[in-house]
Amino acid sequence: MAEVFNSAPHSARLYRAALFDLGALLARVFPLALLRVLAAWAGGLYALTHPGRVEVVRRNLLLLDSTLGEMNARRVYAEFGKTLVDYFHIGTRSQQKAMHFIGEIDGDNHLRAAQDLGKGALIVTAHFGLFELGGLLLAWQGFDALVLTYPEPSAALTRWRADFRARWKVGTLEVGADSFAFLQIAEQLRQGKFIASLIDRPHPTDSTPVTLPHGRALFSTGILLLAEHTGAPVIPATMVRRRDGSYHAQIFAPIFVTSRGSRADTLGFYSQQIADTLAPVLCAHPEQWYQFVPVAAPEP
Amino acid sequence: MAEITLDDVRKLLVDNCMLRVAPEKITPDTTLFGPGSLGLDSIDALQLTVGIEKSYGIAIKDPAVAKEAFQGVETLRQWLNRQPRPSPSA
């Protein structure tokens, strides 16, 4: 499906509820600036000791910019460390305090326009920046928001992250286990909900290649099928960390999916539209593309 | 109104789902989801509902209804035949 807000496939040893508990505890106790420095250092160290994983990231980055190399890929891990710190820090503060981290919002008029249509909306983004913060933004602005997620490595972690979002009044809908999850999503859209998901990771059976500036990647297509079926607009969005540590939310113009002949033609066309919308932001901040699995499409 | 046959259901599945078995191996007893089934997933379920609406004008909005109707090939065929269908001219 159009990918969901699930955890990156790091070592399953790192993706445990107990470690997330520890992260949240540290975020309550220690200053943000200190934790950011330590997390960046830890991310860099992880990259140094896991060259195979760094190579995957390097190959992904090459799709954006052919001059990016191993150092850039290592930097992704350092940035990811900082992003995790922000995630824990923001998630353990009130909605109001957390919203202070969003320093700039562009395009939220598209959200209001979508709400007026009454068909819900499908917010799509990449494994980029602090994408979870988008859920907070939606809830803060009064939208009934749901995040799609695949099951985490453990049920405990899935619950942990759902509870974490619930503090922000953002719901979680787990897909993958339930064969009728997409019908549930369609029903939620009919109720006017805003559903956020990730698109830049291929689904085993439902993916389509898109062209990025320096290569082709696979995007999952389930969200577009939902959009065509329900008439809900697809709204690309990004949440980029700026130099000052605050975040810039960019919400782009909605995309309305209508049939363009065959299903493959339709999915290919609109997936490319989404890729064309997101790619400039990814290219401007490649160090925040936390894409840890290979996404390059096979050559035709 | 013409009765929906096993071949009609087979065609519905072939046209809308990512099948992992040859269509001729689909029998009335074949189940759609879960172990030992056609192995459909949640996207197939969505596409099947879209296909049913396009082919027969029957809209399935409630996941619970879909769960009941999509238990197996024969269940689906019987369920489809029980639903009121809009006339072709409608």
> What does the pLDDT look like over B16-50, one tens digit per residue?
887 878 888 899 999 998 888 888 888 889 889 98
For the record, the structure tokens of A164 come out as 């974490």
Residues of A in Cβ contact (< 8 Å) with B70: 180
Place of tokens 């505890």: A25
Distance between start and end Cα atoms, chain A? 22
Contact B43, A2 (CB under 8 A): no
Strand positions, DSSP E, B41-83: none
Which of these, A165, A185, A209, lies nearest to A123 by C-alpha position?
Answer: A185
Please tell me the distance in Å from A277's CA to the nearest CA on chain B.
25
Give the full edge-to-edge strand order of the sheet including A121-125: A102-106, A247-251, A234-241, A121-125, A194-198, A145-149, A171-174
Please report, for chain B, the start and end positions of each structural domain, with discontinuous segments joined by +: 6-82
Q: Give yes or no for B38 touching A (CB within 8 A).
A: no
Contact residues on chain B for A182, CB-CB shorter than 8 A: 42-43, 45-46
Residue B61: its chain A contacts at CB < 8 A? 186-187, 190
A187 vs B contacts (CB less than 8 Å)? 61-63
**pLDDT value of position A218:** 93
CA distance A23 to A15: 11
Q: What chain B residue is nearest to A2 in terms of C-alpha separation? A: B43
Residue ranges of chain A whose pLDDT lies below 70: 1-15, 176-177, 204-205, 300
Give the residue among A26, A74, A34 at the shortest CA–CA distance from A50.
A74
Q: Supply the pLDDT for residue A57.
A: 97
Beta pairing class for A145-149 and A171-174:
parallel
Nearest CA in chain B to A174: B42
CA distance A108 to A138: 9
The amino acid sitting at A226 is L
Alpha-carbon gap: A175 to the closest alpha carbon of chain B (Å): 8
Q: Which CATH number fits domain B6-82: 3.40.50.720, 2.40.240.10, 1.10.1200.10, 1.10.10.10?
A: 1.10.1200.10
pLDDT confidence of residue A3? 39
**pLDDT class of B61 with cuts at 50, 70, 90:** confident
Q: To the nearest whole angstrom, how far is the Cα of A93 from the nearest Cα of chain B? A: 36
What value, to the nearest 5°, has the Cα angle with vertex A22 and ends A73 and A286? 20
- Among the partner-chain residues A205, A225, A229, the one whose CB lies closest to the CB of B18 is A205
State yes or no: pLDDT of B88 exceeds 80: no
Report the SS3 class of residue A204: coil
- Quote the tokens at residue A235: 């709204």
Q: Count CB neighbours of A153 within 10 A.
A: 18
Domain regions of chain A by residue span: 17-288
The ipTM value here is: 0.81
Is B49 within 8 Å of A179 when comparing Cβ atoms? no
CB–CB of A85/A40 below 8 Å?
Answer: no
**Taking a C-beta distance cutoff of 8 angstroms, is the pair A94, A101 a contact?**
no
User: Tokens 């049913």 identify what position?
Assistant: B52
Joined tokens for residue A291: 């894409």
Q: Which residues pair with A249 in a beta bridge?
A: A105, A239
Angle at B10 between CA B9 and CA B15, to 5 degrees: 100
**Please, which residues 19-78 of chain A have a Cβ atom closer than 8 Å to chain B?**
none
Nearby residues of A213 by Cβ (< 8 Å), 6 or more positions away = A63, A64, A65, A279, A283
In the Cβ-directed half-sphere of A197, how many Cα atoms lie within 13 Å?
A: 32
**pLDDT reported for residue B90:** 45
Whole-model pTM: value is 0.88
CA distance A167 to chain B (A): 28
Q: What pLDDT does residue A8 have?
A: 46
Q: Which residues of A fall within a CB distance of 8 Å from B50?
A: 225, 229
- Write out residues 197-226 of A within 8 Å (CB-CB) of B: 203, 205-206, 222, 225-226
Report whether A98 contacts A168 (CB < 8 A): yes
State the average pLDDT for chain A.
Answer: 90
The predicted structure's pLDDT at residue A36:
95
pLDDT at residue number A1? 38
Chain B residues touching residue A222 (CB < 8 angstroms): 42-43, 46
Q: Which two tokens stand for residue A281?
A: 């932001």
Token digits for A128?
């980029």
